[in-house]
Structure 1
C-alpha cells in the first residue's frame, strides 16, 4: 500500500481573498459510516511517555499517541494528511497574518467544563511563556509578542473576542499557519488544569474521542487505559469501546502478543520479522510510506565536532554509511535511503538539492575527509550512537557502527538506553555525551515542519543546539511567502546549508510496517503512521 502524495496547496494562502477551513465532509472519514458502536476495547502498542500528558510539553511518539486520542483540536488530519475542522467552526483570514477562529458552541471537557475561546488562548499562552519551558513552545514563535529573551505570560497576538471566538495575530504573514493547528501543541486545556498542571498531566481531562478510564488508568511503564468519551460528537467519534495502549519493553514482545492473539493493532514490526510478517498476516498488514525520516545527531559540544574539524568529520561519517545496504539487509527494503532532510511524501520534496551527494556512500572519500580532520586535531576516543533499546533500533545502529569502524578505522558502537523515556530525558537535559539517534514523524504535512522545529535556533526539537542565522532568516522568509512554491524554494535553500553543516545526518525514510489481528476490521494507518483507532471495529 502507498499513500497518495500529500497536497498542501489546497490550504496554502492566496495573496488576496479569505481562507476558510469549513466543516465540509470532503475527505473526511467514511470507512465506518453506518457502523454501530461496540464496547470492545482495542489493544495496541505504545511506549511510556517522556513527560506528564500536557499537550504543549509532548513532542514524542509515546505521549502524542495518547494526547491525540484524548484531546480534540481546532482541526484534524484525515488519512492522507488533509486538514478538516474538528472543534473549529471556521478559520478565516484576509491577509495571512490575522486569523479569526470560531469554535463550535456547546463543546465540553470530560469534567463538564466548557471548551471555549479561553481554553485555547490560555493553553497557548502557557505553552509560549518562557518560564514554563514547554517543549512545544517553538510552535507559538510566529504569534505576535513571542519572545525567547523574556517571559511573556500573555501574548498580545492572542485575543478573546467572545466565548466562541478568538483572534490570532502573527508577527508576519505565514503560509502554513492554518495547517499547523491540528498538531498536539495547539490543543485546548480546561481552566482547572492550571490549578496544578503537574497533577493534571498525570490524570488529564480532555475533550477528544477518548478519555482516561478513571483514576489509575495510567500505569507507568506498563500501559494506559482509555474509554470512549460519550460527550464527544465530532468527526472522530469512536465506534469501539476504548483503547488499551501497552508499553512494551521490546518490539519483539509486542509482535509475539500479536501472533498469540493478545494484541489487536501493531504499528511497529521488529527487524527480524520484516521479511515474513506480510505473508504471516496476509490481508492484515501494511507496508506504507509515511512522512518520517531517520537521522542521527552529533552535538557540536562533543570533542572533535566543532568548527572546520567538525564539518569534515560529519561529512566523513555520512559518506562512510552504505544506506542502501542497510535498508535492504536490515529492513528488507521497507525503508528507502534519504536524499534530503524531509520526506518524499511531501509537496516540494526534491532529490536534487545541491549538496545531497554527501549522503552517497563513498568510503574512500570518507577516509580522506577523516584524515583532513585528523590534520587539524588527531582523533581520540570512540564514537558511539545512543538509542532506546525498546524501539527495535539495535540492529541498524550496530550496522551503522560497523560501517563506521570498517570505513574510517575508528572504534564505533551503539550506546543503548533501556527505555524511550530515559533516552529522551538524557537528550532533553543535555546529559547525553554521545551522538544519538534522532528522527522526525511529521506534525503536519509541510516541508517547514521537518526544518523549523528541528534546525531553527532555540527550537523545541533542536536536540543538537544547532544555530545558523542564515538558516533562521530563510525559514522566516519561507513562512512569509503566501505562494507555496515560493515558500518551498526558500526551504530548499535551507537544506543546501544543512548539507554543508550536517546538524543531523539523514539516513532513510520510514515506512509504517504494521499488522492486526483477525478480531478487528476497518484498520487504516494515517499519513503520519498512526492507526486511526477511532474507526477500528472489533467483534465482541
Structure 2
C-alpha cells in the first residue's frame, strides 16, 4: 500500500502557458534495458536517489515508497515478485498450500537467516503479524491482516476519538486465532472467509518477518532495521543518506551484485537528475519532465535511460468531510470534468502518461476501461453544469497540495489552471516541504482541500487498487471513505475461487466507488529512469522501482 512519490513534472516551463496552447494527448514507451550486453563486474559501491521516509523503517508501519524502496531490499518475505512479470515466486516459503482458500499451510526453507545471524522461524512471522495487526500498536500495515481470523479482536474503538479524554479500551486479544505455529519451519493461516489471492499478497512488505531483536525494542528498531534481504542497513543519516551493504549470508536467490548501495536524500528531483548527468549520482528513478520534452533525456543520457509502463496511478483525494466539508462527491465530479488530462499529459509529461478512466491500473489482470465514464472526460460546459447542480463551491478558493521534494509543482499548477478556467473558481497549487511532512499532515487530519495521491501496487492484483485505498478503515484510505456495499463486494470478490468471477466482482466494487467519485483519477504512469556512465544492468520492476539488486558497475 505504497503512497507513491513517482509522478514527474516540468521544471522551468510555464504549465499555464502550455495548457493555454490547447495541446492534445499521446504516449510512447521504451521497455528495454539499454545497458544489456555491457560488461559488468561484481562488487563496488553506487549511490541512488532517495527521499525522506515518513516513519522509522519498520516493515509493518511503512506504506510509502521513500521507506518502502529501502525495505524492499532489506527485507525478505514468504514470496517475492518476478522483476519482469511481477508474478509471485516462493522466497522464504518452501511451499504455501491450501485446499479451500481459507486454511493455508506455510512451510519455510531451513536456515534462512536474518542480518543478525539468527534463523528465520515460523514464530518470526506469526509474532510480527500479530504485532502489526494489534490496534494499540498503530501500525499502518495493520489493515493487511484484516482477512485473518481473529483480527477484529485485536482492534478497539476510541469512544470519543483520538484527541478525547477517554482512552480506548484494551482489545479482547493480542494474537489472532487464525495464526498457529506448528514447528520452527511450519505455521498455518486461517482466514475469516475464503481469500483466493492470499498467497499473492504475501510478498508485500507488511508481511515480512521480524527477528527477536525487534520485539525487545520496537521503538528504536526502525532506525536500523534487521531484515533477511540481500542488503542490510549500515547507517541512516537523517535527511542525508541511507547506506546499505551486501549481506554475506543472504539465503535467497536474488543476490545483489554491489557491495554498497547508498540512498542519497534529495529535496529536488531536478538536482538528482543533474547529478546523474555529472556522474555524481548513479541512478535516479525520477527524470524531470523538462528533460522529457522532445525526449531530451535521451540526448542528455544516451544509452543510459529507460521508460516503462508500471502499476502506478495518480489521483487527487479530497480531505474527509469532518476536516473540510466543501468537497462532496458531486463537487468532485465537477472538478474531474474540469481537468484537461490529455493537455496536461502532452504539455507536462511529453505524452508519457495515459489518461485514467478508472481506479485500477491497466497492467493488472481485471482492469476494465472507462469505469469513470463521462466524469473523467474533459468537458468545461458539463463541469459548470455539474458544479451548479452541486450547489456551487462554498469554500472560497480550492487548494491542491503536493510534496515539494519531488517534481509535482508544474502538473499541480497546470491542473489548478485547468480547473480555474473551466469552473471559474480560483484554485491554488500548494507546496508542503517534503513527503514525510506531507503524509504526516494527511495522516493527522490536518490537510484541507485537495491533495495529490499516487498508488504503486503492492502486489499484482485488481484488489490491491481497491481494498487498501477505499475499504472502511483501510490504512491508505486518506479520504476515510466508508460504504458497506463496497466492503461487502470486496469480501464477495475475495471469496470467489474462480479468477474471472473474482475479477468481475472487483469490477463491480470499482463501479461503486465510481458512483461516489471517491477520488479523482488522473493518469496511469510510466517510470522514466536515468543513470550514470559507471553502471550497467539497470532495470525497472513492474512496480516502478529500480531492481537495485541487479545493478552492477561496468
Same fold (TM over 0.5): yes
Aligned to 2:11: none
Does residue 156 in structure 1 map to residue 156 in structure 2?
Answer: no
Aligned counterparts of 1:323 and 1:160: Cα–Cα separation in 2: 51
- The reply to whether residue 370 of structure 1 matches residue 387 of structure 2 is yes
Q: What CA distance in whole angstroms lies between the structure 2 residues aligned with 1:189 and 1:380?
A: 47
Task: Report how far residue 287 of structure 1 moved.
Answer: 1.3
In the alignment, which residue of structure 2 is the partner of 1:268? 286
CA–CA distance in 2 between the matches of 1:511 and 1:91?
A: 33
Is residue 2:424 matched to residue 1:409? yes
Counterpart Cα distance in 2 of 1:538 and 1:398:
39
Give the equivalent residue in structure 1 for 2:133. Answer: 128
1:11 counterpart residue number: none
SS of the equivalent of 1:510 reads: strand
Which secondary structure state, in structure 2, belongs to the residue aligned with residue 221 of structure 1?
Answer: coil
**Counterparts of 2:40 and 2:303, CA distance in 1:** 21
The answer to whether structure 1 residue 240 and structure 2 residue 229 are counterparts is no
User: Which runs of at least 4 in structure 1 moved beyond 6 Å after TM superposition?
Assistant: none
The 8 Å contact of residues 299 and 305 in structure 1, kept in 2 or not, is answered as no
Q: Is 1:197–2:202 an aligned residue pair? A: no
**Residue number in structure 1 paired with 2:160:** none
- The equivalent of 2:186 in structure 1 is 165
Q: How much has 1:227 moved relative to structure 2?
A: 0.3
Q: How many Å apart are 1:3 and its aligned residue?
A: 5.8
**Superposed CA offset, 1:97-133 (max 9, x none):** 1111111111221112221001111000001111111
Q: How far off its partner does 1:374 sit?
A: 2.4
| Contact 1:319/1:363, CA 8 A, preserved across alignment | yes
> After superposition, what is the alpha-carbon deviation per residue over 1:210-243, rounded to whole angstroms, capped at 9, x for unaligned?
0012xxx101111100000001031111111121
Taking structure 2 as the reference length, what is the TM-score of the superposition?
0.88
1:108 aligns with 2:125: no
Note the aligned Cα RMSD (angstroms).
1.6
1:294 — aligned with what? 314
Q: What does residue range 423-502 of structure 1 map to in structure 2 within 5 Å?
A: 423-502=438-517
Higher relative contact order (CA 8 A, sep 6+): 2
Q: Partners in 1 of 2:202 and 2:470 — Cα distance? A: 21
Listed one character per residue, the Cα deviations across residues 350-403 of structure 1 (whole Å, up to 9, x for unaligned) are 1143x422100011000011112226xx62411101110011001000001111
Q: What pairs with 1:292-441 in structure 2 (closer than 5 Å)?
A: 292-301=312-321, 302-305=323-326, 310-353=328-371, 355-374=372-391, 379-441=394-456
**Structure 1: unaligned runs, 5 residues or longer:** 5-30
Once the two structures are overlaid, the 10-residue window that deviates more, 295-304 or 326-335, is 295-304
Match of 2:59 among 51, 55, 58: 55
SS for the counterpart of 1:202 is coil
What is the CA distance between 1:434 and its match in structure 2?
Answer: 2.4
Give, in whole Å, the separation in 1 of the partners of 2:177 and 2:190.
8
Contact 1:453 1:460 survives alignment (8 Å): yes
The number of residue pairs the alignment matches comes to 502
1:403-425 alpha-carbon deviations (Å, 9 max, x no partner): 11111111111111111000011
Give secondary structure in 1 for the equivalent of 2:181: strand
Alpha-carbon distance between aligned partners in 2 of 1:425 and 1:493, rounded to the nearest angstrom: 32
Q: What do the CA deviations read for 1:160-205 (whole angstroms, capped 9, x no partner)? A: 0000110000111112100011100000100121111111111111
Match of 2:530 among 515, 521, 525: 515
Give the deviation of 1:59 after TM superposition: 0.5
Write out aligned runs for 1:138-157 (5 A). 138-147=143-152, 148-149=155-156, 150=171, 152-157=173-178
Partner of 2:94: 89
SS at match of 1:161: strand
The answer to whether residue 195 in structure 2 is matched with residue 174 in structure 1 is yes
1:207 to 228, 244, 257: 228
Would you say 1:222 and 2:240 are equivalent positions?
yes
Retained in 2: the 8 A contact 1:73–1:186? yes
Structure 2 Cα separation of the partners of residues 457 and 373 of structure 1: 25
1:410 match: secondary structure: coil
Residues 355 and 524 of structure 2 are in contact (CA less than 8 Å); yes or no, is this contact kept in structure 1?
A: yes
SS in 1 for 2:391: helix
Unmatched segments (≥5 aa) in structure 2: 1-28, 157-170
CA contact (8 A) 1:3 1:527 kept: no
SS in 1 for 2:267: coil
Native 8 Å contact 1:293 1:507 kept in 2: yes
Cα distance in 1 for residues equivalent to 2:298 and 2:505:
40
